[in-house]
Amino acid sequence: MPSSPLPGLYIVATPIGNLGDVSTRAREVLLSADVIACEDTRVTGHLLHLIGIKRPLLRHDDHADDAARARLVERMADERVVLVCDAGTPLISDPGYRLVRDARAAGRMVTSIPGPCAAITGLTLAGLPTDRFLFAGFLPAKAKARDEAIAELAGIRASLVLYESGQRLGPCLAALAAGLGERDAAVARELTKLHEECVTGTLGTLAARYADDKPKGEIVIIVGPPAAVAPATHDDAAVDAALLNALTDAPPARAAKTVAASLGIPRERAYARALALTGKA
């Protein structure tokens, strides 16, 4: 950080439970803020009190009217506006994207001070593939809308990361098990806090475990990707039928190539059968 930081918008991640996770840079930026835009002034005021910082607070969320947002963007011309949420990384299932959009459109300096995020913390704990993941936030609360959302997620070849409350954990896991099948999954709870835990199992076993249990605290559900679809197996009769059709207007090599591609079988196998069917084997 330069000693006199530039005016603009600073997006600052704050702890998701453990105060030790306030980074040095987050502290410096908070200290130098002209105003801290937050979801709830009591929640952020309490955090600042705990870490010994006192700066002006302003309530701001994505429902703020255009005029309120415009005033904040105007202030960024010569003031340091810091955006925080109640806990974790702003904009991740939290307000802020409209403010960032408008600040960018107005040509303001925008920077992000990374830090805690429950989705990433849960994902790293789960022991599930992390090379591709989809963060889906909170599923809808109503069963029908939730089932539709799960159906949309079913075909995605990636781990899924979801936020959920303890109250709704059981029904949510049951719906995930019904819609996604027996995938490996994890329930990560109270991350970075005293009672942090990460329970792993298949969706079915987790749904059974939490069927009558409404655990306290905050929860991230991580679901592993769908199993790779096994290559289609076709018996000789099916291959022969397709080849006989293809051989009506193509020589064995071309018919074999066509059938191999359409059935997803090795070309050599199709060619060997094509030769046998045409008496050239």
Q: Please report, as ranges, the residues that interact with ligand SAM according to CB under 6 A.
A: 16-17, 85, 87-89, 92-94, 117-119, 163-165, 188-193, 218-220
Could you give the CA distance from residue 70 to residue 98 in angstroms, rounded to a whole number? 10
Long-range contacts of 262-267 (CB under 8 A, 24+ apart): 263/232, 263/234, 263/238, 263/239, 264/231, 264/232, 265/232, 265/234, 265/239
| Smaller CB separation from ligand SAM, 125 or 277 | 125
Measured from the CB atom, the residue of 118 and 260 that comes closer to ligand SAM is 118
Residue placing its CB nearer to ligand SAM in the complex, 11 or 191: 191
Nearer of residues 184 and 218 to ligand SAM, judged by Cβ: 218
- Per the DSSP assignment, residues forming a β-bridge with 223 are 160, 185
Instruction: For the CB of residue 119, give the shortest distance to ligand SAM in the complex, in Å.
Output: 6
Q: Does the CA dihedral 128-130-132-134 come out positive or negative?
A: positive
> Pick from 66, 53, 61: which is nearest to 27 by CA?
53
H-type alpha helices, the chain: 24-31, 41-50, 66-75, 97-105, 118-126, 143-153, 169-180, 203-209, 236-247, 252-263, 267-277
Instruction: Give me the least distance between CB of 102 and ligand SAM, in Å please.
Output: 20
Identity (one letter) of the amino acid at 120? I
Chain centroid to Cα 167, Å, comes to: 21
In the complex, what is the shortest distance from the CB of residue 190 to ligand SAM, in angstroms, rounded to a whole number?
5
Other CB atoms closer than 10 Å to residue 56's CB: what's the count?
9
State the DSSP code for 5. Answer: P
| Residue 115 CB, nearest approach to ligand SAM (Å) | 9
Strands 133-138 and 159-165 turn out to be: parallel
Q: How far is the CB of 217 from ligand SAM (least distance, A)?
A: 7
CB of 122 vs ligand SAM, minimal distance in Å: 6
The distance of closest approach from Cβ of residue 176 to ligand SAM in the complex, given in angstroms and rounded to an integer, is: 14
Residue facing ligand SAM at closest CB distance: 88
Name the residue nearer to ligand SAM (CB basis): 76 or 161: 161
Complex with ligand SAM: residue 85 or 255, whichever CB lies closer = 85
- What angle is formed at CA 90 by the lines to CA 85 and CA 50, rounded to 5 degrees? 40
Nearer to ligand SAM, 62 or 74 (CB): 62
